[in-house]
């Protein structure tokens, strides 16, 4: 609280068992938050499927500040909260809108946001609030969650946490004594304290409803039950002592957790419950009914609902459905009708299906899946039930609910599916296998699904053939039963492309040619596919993801790097990030950022690459998706810090073996070769390159040939192996024809040549690479040329190129290669000091990104929008940059950064 009042944000997650006191701590904090504005929300189990319900509960009092948000954020938040209609808002845009809303509200007065029972937040709300929590920095804002453990919810993992434990033994005894009537047997007291493990709520509630005699003998203490069950049992005993009408009123309140008093009494009136039924419940301290309906503890609600007979629950839900305005809240009305249904009901199922469509428009894919699932369960017609179950399975798959998708697929397959539906089900099963393992049987399953779809839906069939090739590329050397050539041959036999052909259709034909007819034959069609993707427009997130399919080092088909086409790689990367940012495509943006980071790595812009990787990791952490390791491995290898790089490589190898992802294994071997070539340890570099070249992993195979040539040439005993690699490079490089390809070929041939031929090839390599964006390999060309010149006793000439290599590697942060250049330069007789940390090195990746955007003329709100941080946090970083660079204005910043870049700093 002190930090938040002082203007520094703080986030805390209270974790502990049910009843341990987390809610009491939030109450304690609220009571002491003098001079602060309080916003409070609580997760509700029955609302977990309603997208953004928890977020709306927290933010509703602040909606007056929405007008100050940028248009896209304002629209996204309005759609998410049902205040306006439109396309489904991306969760990232919603998260950023909430960040801006909380930040703006905190400007007026320090803001304290308290979120109780966060384990029951809907997934969209939890992800948005976790996103905010990871980006708060310089706002006068405290964000505190409470989470009941154990929980499967992982959205808040990684945020600062405090575990709330039970009371110590002495305190637990004292609390128990304070609520126990009469004298308590010592053995019974010790048993209660031991069973409750000091849980305060359990200590308070377990003795209630038991007579003094029962307590004295210990007969009333339930054994072998979970703590939550024991506490609920104590509440249920209290309920049994209440009048029947009071119990029914509590059930109405428990069945709909909105807390709307008007709705409660409308439903109660329909059930014939009088208003005085609340008196006994309030007197017992179980519920409060004033401006809102509030149970004294979530377990009271759970106990009330679970203790009721199913028939009573259905009648209460029916009354609530009738009391809910279908115009104002049709989705909640449909949900109550679904719980009230005793048997399949097509009208209710149709209403749920319509609610699912609305939930999708609001961005609630998880809610859509829940509505579709219940709709399928209530559908009387077997064929219609199968259709709805199949749709629900696809929705569950989209939300990464793989087990639920499996169950729904099984339900769908019980119905009389038509041929197309059976093929769609087979495709989904294959995609589930791929999502789980990225290898194994996925290529074969996808190919079988594609064959089924062929005569039924040619467009979907072609997409599935492409997915099969992609899955086979991912499986690589670890694939079983179907390799990439088999998948490509099947793809060549796919149904003709619809006209006009989509970029994905051109891509399928090109990749099929690439893997059936070989690299050289595939160059021209692949280049046409690249051109189609570069020229085509993306209109939705699906289009963006498909568009990225070809271009990203972490996607199945990195065509541009495989063609040594650095211009296409750069253009596709820049466009991918722009499209993903502009649309707020949360799923696509991390892929685009890592793809762009790969361009930065080979351009020697390591700090920029690290910043993008950090941003991508933050987004995947906020959404619960797996991190993308490919570019992280690449960066670690080029930086040349052996210990940390090997730790990353080893983790990647273990992960790849577990998943059966052979392509990631190939990258790990390639990274090993780069790392050890930089360190000048050529035997392990050669071993890594050999392993990398054992399988033709798209993109990495050609790169690995380059590392093999250098390592083999330097060992001196493997020249024939190096010559064979050069012959393969020659075939590929001449077909690709780019300066990048021809430069790598010339450098590799030079390493195996002597005399004038070698010198001519080294100079050609420098010329070609100097016209490309691949600065790291240009620096290596200077390095190996300088090494050759020194061995030729041309020390003066050698110094020129070794100085250039040292300067470039030092500027990049390629420490191992820089040290190799320093040693070689020293061997020429020149005194060289070790490079020290430069000014730009002391800027964090985030600070460097903020500095560059500010120097380019962007305002703090624009910087925040680019980097998904608040304007205040952008300002905070900028002030730190000013202090580190000893400047005081943006005008000075622009000049200072330019000066440092000119001097390689």
DSSP per-residue codes, 587-599: THHHHHHHHHHHH
Q: Coil, strand or helix: which one is 447?
A: helix
Give the mean pLDDT of 45-49: 75
Measured distance CA(783)–CA(642) in Å, rounded? 20
Q: Rounded to whole angstroms, how far apart are CA atoms 55 and 445?
A: 40
User: Model confidence at 551, in pLDDT bands (50, 70, 90)?
Assistant: very low
Tokens, residue 589: 């943006």
Q: Give the model's pLDDT for residue 902.
A: 57
For residue 268, pLDDT beyond 90: yes
pLDDT over 80 (residue 139)? yes
Nearest to 713 by CA among 679, 768, 753, 674: 753
Residue range 88-130, pLDDT digits in tens: 677 778 888 999 999 999 988 999 999 999 998 988 899 899 9
Q: What is the pLDDT of residues 222-253, one digit of tens each?
A: 443 455 666 677 788 888 889 999 999 999 99
DSSP collapsed to 3 states, 92-156? HHHHHHHHHHHHHHHHHCCEEEEEECHHHCCHHHHHHHHHHHCCCCCCCEEEEEEEECCCCCCCC
Tokens matching residue 608: 């920029």
* pLDDT at site 522: 94
- Looking at per-residue pLDDT, the higher value among 216 and 44 belongs to 44
Q: Which of 179, 84, 91 is nearest to 129 (CA)?
A: 91
| Least-confidence region, from 179-183, 547-551, 861-865 | 547-551
Q: Taking residues 54-68, what's their average pLDDT?
A: 89
Chain Cα centroid distance, residue 132: 14
pLDDT digits (tens, 9 = 90+) for 678-735: 999 999 999 999 999 999 888 789 999 999 999 999 998 889 999 999 999 999 999 9
Position 269 pLDDT exceeds 80: yes
Tokens 């001079």 found at: 35
Q: What angle do CA 446, 550, 745 make, to 5 degrees?
A: 120
Predicted confidence band at 818 (pLDDT cuts at 50, 70, 90)? very high
Output the six-digit token pair for 817. Answer: 């290669």
pLDDT by residue (tens digit) across 564-613? 999 988 888 888 787 766 555 555 677 788 888 999 999 999 988 988 88
- According to the model, what pLDDT value does residue 91 have? 76
pLDDT tens digit sequence for 868-900? 677 778 888 888 888 788 787 887 888 888 777
CA angle 732, 733, 737 (to 5 degrees): 120
Instruction: Answer for the pair 719, 752: CB distance below 8 angstroms, yes or no.
Output: yes
pLDDT at 539 over 90: no
pTM above threshold 0.85 = no
% of the chain residues with pLDDT over 90: 45
């Amino acid at each position: 609280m002190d930090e938040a009042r002082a203007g520094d944000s703080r986030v805390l997650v209270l974790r502990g068992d049910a009843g341990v006191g987390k809610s009491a701590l939030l109450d304690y904090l609220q009571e002491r938050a003098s001079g602060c504005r309080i916003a409070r929300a609580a997760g509700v189990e029955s609302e977990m499927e309603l997208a953004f319900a928890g977020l709306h509960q927290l933010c509703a009092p602040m909606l007056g500040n929405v007008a100050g948000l940028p248009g896209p954020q304002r629209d996204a938040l309005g759609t998410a909260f049902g205040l306006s209609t439109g396309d489904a808002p991306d969760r990232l845009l919603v998260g950023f809108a909430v960040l801006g809303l909380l930040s703006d509200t905190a400007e007026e007065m320090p803001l304290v946001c308290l979120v109780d029972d966060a384990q029951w937040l809907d997934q969209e709300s939890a992800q948005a609030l976790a996103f905010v929590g990871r980006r708060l920095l310089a706002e006068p804002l405290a964000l505190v969650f409470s989470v009941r453990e154990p929980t499967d919810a992982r959205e808040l993992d990684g945020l600062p946490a405090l575990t709330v434990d039970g009371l110590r033994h002495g305190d637990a005894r004292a609390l128990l004594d304070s609520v126990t009537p009469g004298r308590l047997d010592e053995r019974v007291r010790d048993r209660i304290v031991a069973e409750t493990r000091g849980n305060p709520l359990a200590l308070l509630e377990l003795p209630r409803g038991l007579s003094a005699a029962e307590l004295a003998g210990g007969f009333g203490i339930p054994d072998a039950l979970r703590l939550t069950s024991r506490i609920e049992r104590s509440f249920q005993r209290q309920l049994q002592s209440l009048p029947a009408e009071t119990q029914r009123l509590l059930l109405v309140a428990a069945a709909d957790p909105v807390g709307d008093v008007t709705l409660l009494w409308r439903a109660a009136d329909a059930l014939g419950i009088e208003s005085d039924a609340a008196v006994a419940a309030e007197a017992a301290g179980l519920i409060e009914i004033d401006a809102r309906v509030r149970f004294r503890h979530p377990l009271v609600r759970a106990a009330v609902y679970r203790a009721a007979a199913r028939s009573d629950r259905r009648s209460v839900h029916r009354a609530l459905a009738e009391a809910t305005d279908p115009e104002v809240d049709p989705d909640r009305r449909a949900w109550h009708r679904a719980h009230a249904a005793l048997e399949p009901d097509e009208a209710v199922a149709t209403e749920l299906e319509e609610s699912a469509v609305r939930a999708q428009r609001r961005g609630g894919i998880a809610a859509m899946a829940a509505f579709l699932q219940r709709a399928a369960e209530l559908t009387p017609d077997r064929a219609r039930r199968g259709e709805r179950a199949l749709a629900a399975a696809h929705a569950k798959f989209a939300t990464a609910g793989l087990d639920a998708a499996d169950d729904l697929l099984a339900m769908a397959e019980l119905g009389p599916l038509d041929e197309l539906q059976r093929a769609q089900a087979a495709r989904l099963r294959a995609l589930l296998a791929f999502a789980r393992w990225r290898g194994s049987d996925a290529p074969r399953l996808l190919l079988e699904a594609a064959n089924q779809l062929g005569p039924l839906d040619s467009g979907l069939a072609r997409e599935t053939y492409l997915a099969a090739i992609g899955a086979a590329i991912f499986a690589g050397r670890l694939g079983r039963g179907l390799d990439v050539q088999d998948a490509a041959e099947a793809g060549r036999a796919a149904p003709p492309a619809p006209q006009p052909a989509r970029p994905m259709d051109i891509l399928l034909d090109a990749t099929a040619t690439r893997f059936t007819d070989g690299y050289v034959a595939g160059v021209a069609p692949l280049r046409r596919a690249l051109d189609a993707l570069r020229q085509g427009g993306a209109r939705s997130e699906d289009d963006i993801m498909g568009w990225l399919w070809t271009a990203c080092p972490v996607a199945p088909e990195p065509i541009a790097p495989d063609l040594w086409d650095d211009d296409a790689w750069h253009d596709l990367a820049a466009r991918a990030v722009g499209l993903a940012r502009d649309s707020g495509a949360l799923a696509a943006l991390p892929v685009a950022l890592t793809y762009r980071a790969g361009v930065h790595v080979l351009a020697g812009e390591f700090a920029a690459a690290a910043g993008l990787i950090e941003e991508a990791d933050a987004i995947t952490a906020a959404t619960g998706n797996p991190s993308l390791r490919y570019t992280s491995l690449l960066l670690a290898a080029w930086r040349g810090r052996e210990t940390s790089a090997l730790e990353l490589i080893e983790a990647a190898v273990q992960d790849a073996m577990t998943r059966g992802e052979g392509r990631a294994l190939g990258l790990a071997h390639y990274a090993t070769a780069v790392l050890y070539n930089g360190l000048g340890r050529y035997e392990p570099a050669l071993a890594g390159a050999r392993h990398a070249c054992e399988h033709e992993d798209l993109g990495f195979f050609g790169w690995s040939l380059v590392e093999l040539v250098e390592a083999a040439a330097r060992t001196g005993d493997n020249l024939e192996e190096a010559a064979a690699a050069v012959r393969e490079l020659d075939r590929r490089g001449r077909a690709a024809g780019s300066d990048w390809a021809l430069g790598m070929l010339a450098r590799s041939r030079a390493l195996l040549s002597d005399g004038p031929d070698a010198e001519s090839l080294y100079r050609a390599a420098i010329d070609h690479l100097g016209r490309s964006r691949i600065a790291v390999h240009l620096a290596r060309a200077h390095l190996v040329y300088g090494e050759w010149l020194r061995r030729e006793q041309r020390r003066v000439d050698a110094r020129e190129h070794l100085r250039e290599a040292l300067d470039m590697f030092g500027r990049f942060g390629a420490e191992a290669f820089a040290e190799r250049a320093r040693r070689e330069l020293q061997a020429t007789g020149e005194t060289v000091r070790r490079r020290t940390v430069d000014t730009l090195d002391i800027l964090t990746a985030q600070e460097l990104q903020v500095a560059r955007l500010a120097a380019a003329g962007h305002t703090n709100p624009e910087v925040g929008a680019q980097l998904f941080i608040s304007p205040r946090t952008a300002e905070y970083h900028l002030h730190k940059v000013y202090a580190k660079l000893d400047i005081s204005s943006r005008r000075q910043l622009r000049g200072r950064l330019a000066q440092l870049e000119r001097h390689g700093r």
